[in-house]
Amino acid sequence: MNIRILKPALALLVLPLFSVSGCLWAQDAGFNSRPPNGTEQKPAFAGQTRAPEKKANVAFEVVTVAGGLQTPWGLAFLPDGRMLVTERPGRLRVVGKKGELSEPVAGLPSVDARGQGGLLDVVLDPKYATNNLIYWSYAEPREGGANNTAVARGKFVDGAVPRVENVQVIFHQAPLLRSNLHFGCRLVFSQDGKLFITLGDRSIPEGRMQAQQMDGLLGKIVRLNPDGSVPADNPFVGREGVRPEIWSLGHRNIQSAALHPVTGELWEVEHGTRGGDELNIARKGKDYGWPTIAYGIEYRGGPITGGITAKEGMEQPTYYWDPVIAPSGMTFYTANLFPAWKGSLFIGGLGSTNLVRLTLDGDKVVGEERLLTDLQPKRERIRDVRQGPEGALYVLTDSAEGRILKLVPAQR
């Protein structure tokens, strides 16, 4: 295994900016020094953006648990500590405690792996101990080059050649579009056993505008029963012309989501454009504004939609980034292995190629820290972040030679 030690003192070094795909990303404590893209925009309240740097001064080691994964996307722990890991081309692997990779799990439906599509998230059923059900999200190929985000479930059968049986597709995003972008899609079970599915707007103009339309499922978070049926207490059940699956609307592309360990509410982080990555608490029936209101600017410059950041009846983000971190994967840290991190929110950075740690005070972000900044020269983007059963932090790096990294306390 590959082991390296990061000492807190190293975080004091000021390192240069590094160019990735034509964009510059802060690599160190200077992440708040760059000007925002939305130069004329002002936050709606104090502390909504650019929280002060707040270091926990934790010494940790980074262990490479496994390598050789092709663009891994999602990770879930089996009861015995092994992991299920998705690879975007369409493979699901079982990863052993020593990093050994299984043969691809047999029985999964085909995926559309073009662009940002492919096999995405994976989670275990809350009753996995008795039903062995797993759920996964993916880009579903349809006729004529169209596609959509879908969610399936099946019984996981372990063995030398693992497989899933009795596969059911429990969700199809609608309408279909011909786009290879913005599929979402994180899967999170709530405390009452309902399944949240976070979705994207598919990026193209036709999809973007549907984030505000209630007869479709683009740019939404949906909430389902585990079998795919609609819970009777969803906010729009029985309303004519409105999809009953909808929990919240006005989202752009959500690739980070987790339950708050105390309140049980769903927190999510969604991608903005040039600026405007948003941390939101996804509450029942609320409208989060996209694309009517947004921070940041269009990729090519200029205002987004009407160029406004606030409107009555639309929610403000709890926190936003401009410039962006390009978020994917997140977890609330609740374990005792790192006492100084307890209560922190960790978010993976694709564009920033580092691990973002937020210090929270209730629903407010009061501090920010950037970790794993040494991944940037290697262009290793962070796709997923999970807390392991022993309290370590596990990170997936998104590349053709993707790795599973584990953060553990440094040996003194």
Is the pLDDT at 379 greater than 90, yes or no?
no
HSE-up (13 A, CA, CB side) for residue 5: 8
Q: What's the pLDDT tens digit per position in 130-159?
A: 999 999 999 999 999 999 999 999 999 999
Both 320 and 407 in one domain: the answer is: yes
Both 33 and 116 in one domain: the answer is: no
Tell which of 250, 280, 298 closes a domain: 250
Classify residue 53 as exposed, middle or buried by CB count within 10 Å of its CB (0-12, 13-18, 19+). Answer: middle
Q: Is residue 268 part of a domain?
A: no
Q: Is residue 275 part of a domain?
A: no
Model confidence band, residue 32 (pLDDT cutoffs 50, 70, 90): confident
Mean confidence (pLDDT) of the chain: 92
What per-residue confidence (pLDDT) applies to 13?
27
What per-residue confidence (pLDDT) applies to 86?
98
Both 56 and 106 in one domain: the answer is: no
DSSP 114: S
Q: Is residue 177 part of a domain?
A: yes
Question: Which of 307, 315, 247, 255 has its CA nearest to residue 280?
Answer: 315
Both 179 and 233 in one domain: the answer is: yes
Percent of the chain clearing pLDDT 70 (strictly above): 93
Both 102 and 129 in one domain: the answer is: yes
Q: What's the pLDDT tens digit per position in 159-218?
A: 999 999 999 999 999 999 999 999 999 999 999 999 999 999 999 999 999 999 999 999
Both 241 and 138 in one domain: the answer is: yes
Q: Is residue 277 part of a domain?
A: no
Q: What's the pLDDT tens digit per position in 48-96?
A: 999 999 999 999 999 999 999 999 999 999 999 999 999 999 999 999 9
Task: For residue 172, indicate whether it is catalytic.
Answer: no
Other residues' Cβ atoms within 10 Å of the Cβ of residue 68? 11
What per-residue confidence (pLDDT) applies to 23?
28
**pTM, 2 dp:** 0.92
Model confidence band, residue 352 (pLDDT cutoffs 50, 70, 90): confident
The predicted model gives 244-268 an average pLDDT of 98
What CATH number corresponds to the domain at position 116?
2.120.10.30
127-143: burial string, b at 16+ Cβ within 10 Å, e else: eeeeebbbbbbbbbbee
In which domain, by residue range, is 157 found?
Answer: 70-250
Q: What's the pLDDT tens digit per position in 320-343?
A: 999 999 999 999 999 999 999 999
How big, in percent rounded to 5, are the helix, strand and coil portions of the chain? Answer: 10, 40, 50
The predicted model gives 282-289 an average pLDDT of 98
Q: Is residue 364 part of a domain?
A: yes
Domain count along the chain = 2
Largest CA distance in the chain: 63
Is the pLDDT at 4 greater than 80, yes or no?
no
- Spot the catalytic one: 182, 251, 260, 271: 182
Model confidence band, residue 14 (pLDDT cutoffs 50, 70, 90): very low
